Amino acid sequence: MKQSRRLPFPGVGLSSLFMVFVILCLTAFGILSFSAAKSDWDLTQKHVQSVQAYYAADSKAQQVLSGIDARLYRLLQENPVVNETELARHLNGTVIDDVSLSLTADSSGSKIAFSVPAGSVQEIQVEIQPITGPERYRVLSYRLAASNEWNGADQPLELWQGSQP
Q: pLDDT digit string (tens) for 105-142?
A: 888 888 999 999 998 899 999 999 999 888 999 999 99
> Domain tally for the chain?
1
Query: Is 97 a member of any domain?
Result: yes
Maximum CA extent, the chain: 126
Segments forming the whole domain that contains residue 85 = 39-146
In terms of pTM, does the model score above 0.85? no
Please give the pLDDT value at position 108: 80
Q: What is the pLDDT of residue 11?
A: 60
Q: For residue range 64-80, what is the model confidence (pLDDT) as tens digits?
A: 999 999 999 999 999 88
Q: Please, what sign has the CA dihedral across residues 50, 51, 56, 60?
A: positive
- CA 42, CA 45: separation in Å to the nearest integer? 5
The answer to the question of residue 15 being in a domain is no
Average pLDDT, whole number, for the chain? 89
Separation CA 118–CA 121 (nearest Å): 7
